Structure 1
Amino acid sequence: MPAWEQRKFGDCFEFLKSNTLSRAGLNDENGTARNVHYGDILIKFGDCLDGERSDLPFITDDTVLPKFAGSILREGDVIFADTAEDEAAGKCVELRKLPKEPTISGLHTIPARPRFFFGTGYLGHYLNSDAYHRQLLPLMQGIKVISVSKAALQDTQVRFPGLSEQAAIGAALSEIDNLITLHQRKRLSIRQRSPVWS
């Protein structure tokens, strides 16, 4: 079995631009582009994002998209939430499937594009693992609001096996995530049907 490779983040990824739109600049109805908001990365999304099913909000102002022509997201890109109220700063999501509309990264995010191919699902799970996230902890700044910078990410180390093993790891962990989600939905459904006793 080939050894795992270890390389600097900056050797593996290039950074893309993100917009500075607050929730007020987004809507759930329509628009020419979609937006990935840092709050959704922290709370709503798991390690991997299927944008076709995740109801990404639309950008209300149609003049925003042309400014980000070189930073339209594609499958395999990763997005970090650079700010949080705790050590969740640095949580990441790997983009799996995207909606038909162009999608760009939003406020308080750091979007990054791999410089070479990774197995589907591997990055989302690895970049959220304790092994990787522990590297970010000493690099975080702030007291009430904690943040991680591009410069901090740049020097972290990324470890990965060969492509087939990456794909196998990504598939196995995604299957576990799906089972957990399924059980959570079942529990919620049972609780909603159960009478509340006072």
Structure 2
Amino acid sequence: WGVKRLGEIYRFKPTNSWSRDQLNYDSGTIKNIHYGDIHKELNRTFRIDDEVVPYVNDTLADSVKEDAFCEEGDIVLADASEDVDDIGKAIEIVDIGGQRLVSGLHTILASRIDHRIVVGFGAYLYASSGVRKQIQQRAQGAKVLGISKTQLAEVELAYPTEAREQQKIAHCLSSLDEVMGLQAKKVQALKQHKKGLMQQLFPAEGETTPRLRFPEFREAGAWEVKRLGDVCEVLDNLRKPVARTKRNPSPYPYYGASGAIDYIDQYIFDGNYSPLSA
């Protein structure tokens, strides 16, 4: 494989520092990648039609320079993070769909100088352990970590010199990403299904009979209602029964780093809170 410093095969392009208040999801002519979306929402291989990306407000559109627009094969990295695992997290612009896209707040935009890195391979190259470790080692900061273009330029990238091998690697890994994405959608659908069942299998507030019951229990009648304090004993963090005092007939202490710091009123536990049991 070939080995080159990042700064030898990528050049850095302008980014912007617009806040969320200067973006919108309704209309515009330019879309913007915010570093927060890289951390939470965007796929490693960025296809614009598959992503939810905000527009730049129209009042700012004329200020965007031509060299600031993203191109396919560009890498967008988050240059700030509170978590070392996410510092320098990157996405690759794989399909821009003819739209105009810019790189925004706390991002670094790296564009290929030539075509030695094929489109689709860069996403996995920047996610590889060797590259991630170098970025993490170069990051600086206490509570918030940051990395600069100068530091990134020194990161060494190892890559197959033959384009076909890069394409083969990218195809293999993207196929797995696609399968995992489909499974994630199935899991999300199951979670929503479970949430709906929970709402029907337990009585609603103020009721004692669930809306949905299994056939063998449909004639079983209403559920019992008991106060929490009647069916369990409240213990402190040492698993000892909480003592009752004249000051508070039924105190429930809660704890901070230095011990008990206040009392929770018994009303919360055995006054009005009444769990149901079938």
- TM > 0.5: yes
Which protein has greater RCO, CA pairs closer than 8 Å, 6+ apart? 1
Q: Distance between the aligned counterparts of 1:137 and 1:102, measured in 2?
A: 31
Does the CA contact (< 8 Å) of 1:83 and 1:89 recur in 2? yes
Structure 1 partner of 2:118:
119
The SS at the match of 2:60 is coil
Say whether residues 1:128 and 2:127 are aligned partners: yes
CA shift for structure 1 position 100? 4.0
Percent identity of paired positions between Structure 1 and Structure 2: 28
The SS at the match of 1:142 is coil
Does the CA contact (< 8 Å) of 2:9 and 2:112 recur in 1? yes
CA shift for structure 1 position 62? 3.6
Q: Distance between the aligned counterparts of 1:178 and 1:112, measured in 2?
A: 25
**Cα RMSD for the two superposed structures:** 1.4
Structure 2 partner of 1:183:
183
Structure 2 partner of 1:26:
23
Does the CA contact (< 8 Å) of 1:25 and 1:61 recur in 2? no
Structure 2 partner of 1:139:
138
Say whether residues 1:96 and 2:112 are aligned partners: no
The SS at the match of 2:105 is coil
Q: Distance between the aligned counterparts of 1:85 and 1:154, measured in 2?
A: 22
Q: Distance between the aligned counterparts of 1:124 and 1:105, measured in 2?
A: 16
Does the CA contact (< 8 Å) of 1:36 and 1:106 recur in 2? yes
The letter for the 1-side match of 2:41 is: K
The SS at the match of 1:90 is coil
Say whether residues 1:173 and 2:170 are aligned partners: no
Structure 2 partner of 1:150:
149
Say whether residues 1:58 and 2:44 are aligned partners: no
| Counterparts in 2 of 1:146 and 1:65: CA distance versus 1, 3 Å | farther
Q: Give CA deviations for 1:64-95 in whole Å, capped at 9, x if unaligned.
A: 44432112111111100000111111000000
CA shift for structure 1 position 115? 1.0
CA shift for structure 1 position 101? 3.2
Q: Distance between the aligned counterparts of 1:32 and 1:188, measured in 2?
A: 32
The letter for the 2-side match of 1:134 is: K
Q: Distance between the aligned counterparts of 2:128 and 2:44, measured in 1?
A: 10
CA shift for structure 1 position 142? 0.8
Does the CA contact (< 8 Å) of 1:81 and 1:109 recur in 2? yes
Q: Distance between the aligned counterparts of 2:159 and 2:101, measured in 1?
A: 27
Which of 53, 66, 70 lines up with 1:69 in the alignment?
A: 66
The SS at the match of 1:136 is helix
Q: Distance between the aligned counterparts of 2:99 and 2:118, measured in 1?
A: 24
Q: Give CA deviations for 1:93-115 in whole Å, capped at 9, x if unaligned.
A: 00011144311100000001011
Q: Distance between the aligned counterparts of 2:47 and 2:191, measured in 1?
A: 27
| Counterparts in 2 of 1:189 and 1:67: CA distance versus 1, 3 Å | closer
Which of 2, 9, 12 lines up with 1:12 in the alignment?
A: 9
Matching of residues 75-94 of structure 1 within 5 Å: 75-87=72-84, 88-94=86-92
The SS at the match of 1:52 is helix
The letter for the 1-side match of 2:130 is: A
Q: Distance between the aligned counterparts of 2:3 and 2:75, measured in 1?
A: 18
CA shift for structure 1 position 32? 1.7
Calculate the TM-score normalised by the size of structure 2.
0.67
Q: Distance between the aligned counterparts of 2:128 and 2:192, measured in 1?
A: 33
Structure 2 partner of 1:42:
39
| Counterparts in 2 of 1:49 and 1:151: CA distance versus 1, 3 Å | same
The letter for the 1-side match of 2:92 is: E
